[in-house]
Structure 1
Amino acid sequence: MQNGVPWWYFHKAGGALEGTRLGAVDPGGEIWQRIRPERVIGSVVYPAVEVDAPGLIRHVEGTRFSLGEPSGEKSERATALAREMVKAGLQAPVREDIRSEIWVKLWGNLSFNPISALTGSTLAAIVADEATRAVARAMMLEAQAIGERLGVRFPISVDRRIKGAGDVGEHKTSMLQDLERGRPMEIDALVTAVQELGRLTGQPTPTIDSVLALVRRLAIERGCY
């Protein structure tokens, strides 16, 4: 379970990029070689939480953790894991296209997380402000173009996804929380990897590039990169 583009993304993905290692999240293919992608069950994490203190996590909302095999099959191991998670009171649907669901979640993380770190704003504040909402939307449209070149299906519109983020309310993104606590931020998994996918697919990412440059510089200055 992780946010952003997973290191195993191109395992059993098919197409010309099958087996490609992503340097942004797996430099030198170290994770691919040591853990091995065939051991992976993908997961998309939806709950919103905040770290109030070391070891004290406040649950804001959500209990869904979607699961899915990289190959798209509904395997026994995935369904067995889902059963155990449901017993624990969680929602754990097994998806046949986990990558598309990864992108719908990534849509928001890619844009709202770095914007929140740069501005100190909550999700609701970013969406309510016309200017920051426009920046987020531009980043999301660039990401959508990349995803569609990779065969991803986006079941909802950009504007509906933006509204969903705003509906979470006065929630600080994980990237902003990490910045405030001096912890490393998930810049590479959430933003740099998307930029890398843009290069691999020949899709320009001017807004993503600009925001990435700013948030990376901020992280370096604060010792959070």
Structure 2
Amino acid sequence: MKVCIYGAGAVGGHLAARLIAKGDAEISVVARGAHLAAIRDRGLFLETGGEVIGGKPAAATDDPAELPPQDLVVLTLKAPALPGIARPLKALLAPSAAALFFTNGIPWWWRYGIDDGGSLPLLDPEGLLWRELGPECVLGGVVYSSNALKEPGVVTHFASNKWIIGDPTGDRSPRGEAASELLEAAGLNAPVSEDIRRDMWEKLFRNVGGNPLSALTRIPTSDWGTAPGIGEVSRGMIAETVEVARALGWDLGEETDIDAIANPAPGRTGGRSSMLQDVEAGRPMEVEAIVGQVQAFAREAGVATPTIDVILPLMRGLDAAIRSRREG
């Protein structure tokens, strides 16, 4: 079985290192820069639970066109990067192969199997993913795993190890089962979900309450006690997102402890959100997937989002400034 990890950074590198160490499949990785050079030279390794695992992949490249057709492609790229790889990703997939997207927030394929309304403009502005790749090959994924790139070629795993997989149709498809079995065998907790969108809402409640505010303030969620008031803003964003989910048919209010999410335990290991890591590194953020699309759904459903309406323009402005500096 040929498997490609497309975007082998912190999260993708964790996954790739475990699969390489297990040796049940021919693993290729798509990476870039110094990280790619280190993988080619020494291999890709994961520090976890007091041990180091990994090894050299079958191939490591920054050009997916160099790879043969793959039976499974696992994507751990951030949402803003996905439209630009629609065509090379399609060419990388063998017939009947699956593209498993482990991304934060609302995914571009959300409407597939629900109302067939096409791609979401905030996440796939020109419809490239919907048109060039097509949602039929998609498996959805939700990750609970805290990781960081310690140095080129080495990923450190801090906490959590859950990788939920689900078909957008809600079926327990053979390709979803096969992906789950592959990851489980490599030491990853990878259950198959019959409602992957529900799992995405549950993760989004945490992301929407933590990521934007940590990026704006530069304070890790685990240190919010040093700045009273952040938790209250977080609570508003989470509560509004819960109402949006309810309006769209996923009523998770009674089982969601909003106060606990908005006020994380102090000193928690791995408390630096992905958006905080992105803004510190000068990388574009997943603003639309985590916040913008929630507001868009709210507008469609007639749900008021006063807190999100304040935070979203600030996040878009910060993201625009980061992109301008990168382009300049």
TM-score, normalised relative to structure 2:
0.63
Q: Distance in 2 between matches of 1:166 and 1:12?
A: 41
CA deviation vs aligned residue, 1:130-185 (integer Å, no higher than 9, x gap): 41111011001111111011111324332343456768445211111111111111
- Aligned residue for 1:82, secondary structure, equals helix
Q: Which amino acid aligns with 1:2?
A: T
Mark the CA change 1:198 to 1:20 in structure 2 (over 3 Å): closer, same or farther: farther
Q: Which residue of 2 aligns with 1:62?
A: 160
Please tell me whether residue 90 in structure 1 is matched to residue 183 in structure 2.
no
Structure 2 match to 1:48: 146
* Structure-2 separation of matches of 1:198 and 1:68: 25
TM-score, with structure 1 as normaliser = 0.90
**Residue identity matched to 1:8:** W
Structure-2 change in CA distance of 1:160 and 1:5 (3 Å): same
1:165-221 CA distance string (max 9 Å, x none): 768445211111111111111111111111111112121222112111112212223
Partner of 2:179: 81
Alignment of 1:123-138 (within 5 A): 123-126=221-224, 129-138=227-236
Name the residue aligned to 1:187.
287
- Distance (Å, rounded) in 2 between the aligned partners of 1:109 and 1:133: 13
> How many angstroms apart in 2 are the aligned matches of 1:128 and 1:93?
37
Q: CA deviation at 1:126?
A: 2.6
Q: Which runs of 5+ in 2 are unaligned?
A: 1-101
Q: Which residue of 1 aligns with 2:109?
A: 8
| Structure 1 segment 14-33 matched on structure 2, within 5 A | 17-33=115-131
Post-superposition offset of 1:66: 0.5
SS for the counterpart of 1:171 is: coil
Q: Matches of 1:172 and 1:50 in 2, distance apart?
A: 10
Quickly say closer, same or farther: Cα 1:118–1:54, change in 2 above 3 A.
farther
Quick one: distance in 2 between partners of 1:205 and 1:48? 29
Shift of 1:57: 2.7
Match of 2:64 in 1: none
Q: Which residue of 1 aligns with 2:307?
A: 207
Report the secondary structure of 1:41's partner residue: strand
Bigger helix share: 1
Greater relative CO (CA pairs within 8 A, separation 6+) = 1
Contact 1:43/1:98, CA 8 A, preserved across alignment: yes
1:159 aligned residue: 259
Q: 2:169 aligns with which of 71, 81, 89?
A: 71
Q: In 1, Cα distance between the equivalents of 2:215 and 2:128?
A: 29
Q: RMSD in angstroms over aligned alpha carbons?
A: 2.1
Find the aligned partners of 1:49 and 1:20 in 2 and give their Cα distance: 33
Q: Is the 8 A contact 1:50 1:172 kept in 2?
A: no
Question: Offset of 1:68 from its aligned partner?
Answer: 0.9
CA 1:52–1:68: 2 relative to 1, 3 Å: same
Give the direction of change, closer, same or farther, for the CA distance of 1:142–1:25 in structure 2 (3 Å limit): same
- Structure 1 stretches of 5 or more lacking a match? none
Superposed displacement of residue 45, structure 1: 0.9
Residue 110 of structure 1: aligned partner: 208
Q: Is the 8 A contact 1:22 1:196 kept in 2?
A: no
Question: Residues 128 and 150 of structure 1: is their aligned pair in 2 closer, same or farther, counting only changes over 3 Å?
Answer: farther
CA contact (8 A) 2:292 2:312 kept: yes
Distance 2:293 2:266 in 1: 24
2:249 pairs with 1:148: no
Distance in 2 of aligned mates of 1:215 and 1:43: 25
Secondary structure (helix, strand or coil) at the match of 2:112 reads: coil
- Give the whole-Å Cα distance in 1 for the aligned partners of 2:265 and 2:141: 19
Deviates more, 1:44-53 or 1:110-119: 44-53
Q: 8 Å contact 1:4–1:102 — kept in the other structure?
A: yes
- What is the alpha-carbon distance in structure 1 between the residues aligned to residue 129 and residue 311 of structure 2? 27
CA positional deviation for 1:26: 1.0
